[in-house]
């Protein structure tokens, strides 16, 4: 069993438009509403690919009923820490070429007691604990550092995917896996990240500071994995419909394959390729073609640019 923790879940509303033009009126050709949030997305990706998953998140009674029904339908076990506020709504606008624009609400306020209860609910006897996403207002910014301190074997079974101050406060705290994207990694290092080599050097600093594996997602440029060894991988994604959720799928696939090494990196990239074919943020089933499209090597192209 893999447990996921989502401190700030969301109702994701995805709209497809022919072209997004600022200041204009648009008509959506597709509207899709899903129970989501990064950890919830990870749990659904795991379940749809036949890995048992348990999702922990804060919710009031009404919102929990909606989430529980949606997650149960995909095979995910849900557990809510009860709060009085309402789960936020996030809007994603998708254009035909896959260009994605997001508007995210801040979410309900969580006090210290509610944040502590989330940690207690998540720290269970699972094979892995994957904690993902932003923090709701008033949640202590060291939430993920507190979570790691509450898990005796965090260095072996805690994976974190966050950003900003919550991620910065985790630096130096032992964790098995941390998954920043390029922008999030840039916030953690004084280095300028222009090439794969720059990414490797910045990730190695974080690895040396206590993060067992640093999995850096680079969008269309692939992903870098820095642990005791260094790997780089790419995937030839086709039929890209929505890039939201690709990073969640990358982490889900990586952990499903053991959370370490070249094999796990390849599986994560295959799951990401499957995810971008989905219009919404729900997990997608990985195919043999997805796995065949992945190229992973420990011969890292250090001079390869990672900027648009």
Residues forming the active site: 248
| Contact assessment for residue 200 and residue 230, using Cβ atoms and an 8 Å cutoff | yes
Pairing of strands 230-235, 100-104: unpaired
| Contact assessment for residue 41 and residue 48, using Cβ atoms and an 8 Å cutoff | no
């Amino acid at each position: 069993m893999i447990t996921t923790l989502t401190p700030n879940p969301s109702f994701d509303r995805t709209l497809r438009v022919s072209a997004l033009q600022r200041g204009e009126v648009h008509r959506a050709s597709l509207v899709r509403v899903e129970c989501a949030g990064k950890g919830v997305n990870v749990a659904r990706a795991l379940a749809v690919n036949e890995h048992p998953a348990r999702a922990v998140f804060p919710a009031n009674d009404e919102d929990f009923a909606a989430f529980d029904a949606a997650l149960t339908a995909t095979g995910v076990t849900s557990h809510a820490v009860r709060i009085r506020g309402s789960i936020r709504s996030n809007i994603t606008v998708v254009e035909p070429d896959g260009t994605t624009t997001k508007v995210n609400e801040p979410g309900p306020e969580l006090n210290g007691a509610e944040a502590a209860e989330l940690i207690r609910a998540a720290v269970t006897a699972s094979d892995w604990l994957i904690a993902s996403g932003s923090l709701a207002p008033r949640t202590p910014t060291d939430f993920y550092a507190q979570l790691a301190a509450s898990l005796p074997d965090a260095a072996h079974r805690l994976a974190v995917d966050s950003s900003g101050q919550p991620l910065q406060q985790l630096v130096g705290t032992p964790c098995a896996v941390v998954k920043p994207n390029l922008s999030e990694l840039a916030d953690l290092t004084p280095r300028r990240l222009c090439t794969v080599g720059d990414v490797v050097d910045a990730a190695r600093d974080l690895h040396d500071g206590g993060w067992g594996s640093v999995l850096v997602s680079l969008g269309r440029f692939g992903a870098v994995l820095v642990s005791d060894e260094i790997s780089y991988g790419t995937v030839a994604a086709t039929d890209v419909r929505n890039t939201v959720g690709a990073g969640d799928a990358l982490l889900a696939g990586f952990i499903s394959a053991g959370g370490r090494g070249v094999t796990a990196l390849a599986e994560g990239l295959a799951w990401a390729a499957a995810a971008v074919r989905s219009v919404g943020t729900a997990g997608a089933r990985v195919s043999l073609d997805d796995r065949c499209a992945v190229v992973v090597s420990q011969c890292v192209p250090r001079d390869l640019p990672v900027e648009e």
